[in-house]
Amino acid sequence: DIQLTQSPSSLSASVGDRVTITCRASQDAGISLAWFQQKPGKAPKSLIYAASTLQSGVPPRFSGSGSGTDFTLTISSLQPEDFATYFCQQYENYPYTFGQGTRLEIK
């Protein structure tokens, strides 16, 4: 199985900050890497697929990069609605796996 490790596990930031979350895969995931945002009590929302492609309707302040084993999610200028938990996910191989999550909190 491909294990995904996110860092940091939690992060405090302010509105307007630029933040970066990393996701490291235990083996080559190609570009089959997605990012999701989840708010308490809600279903995850897809942000990015194929490592760097924004899902329709996602604001351009979100961006993704990477390939192989190292990936990043960057939010260029945090907005109040961005405070949530973020998960990476690989769909290169079965079983599809998720990172443990990064909780983004207001400083």
Partner 1 sequence: EVQLEESGGGLVQPGGSLRLSCMVSGFTVSDYFMDWVRQAPGRGLEWVARCTSKARGDITVYAASVRGRFSISRDDSKNSLYLQMNSLKIEDTAVYFCVRGYNSFDTWGQGTLVSVSS
| Binding region for partner 1 (CB under 8 A) | 32, 34, 36, 42-46, 49-50, 53, 55, 87, 89, 91, 94-101
**Peptide bond between residue 80 and the one before it cis (omega within 30 degrees of 0):** no
For residue 32, the minimal CB distance to partner 1 (Å) is: 8
What separation, in Å, do the N-terminal and C-terminal C-alpha atoms of the chain show?
A: 36
Nearer to partner 1, 83 or 102 (CB): 102
Nearer to partner 1, 5 or 12 (CB): 5
For residue 15, the minimal CB distance to partner 1 (Å) is: 27
For residue 67, the minimal CB distance to partner 1 (Å) is: 15
Nearer to partner 1, 17 or 68 (CB): 68
Ordered DSSP codes for 23-90: EEESS--TT-EEEEEE-TTS--EEEEETTTEEPTT--TTEEEEEETTEEEEEESS--GGG-SEEEEEE
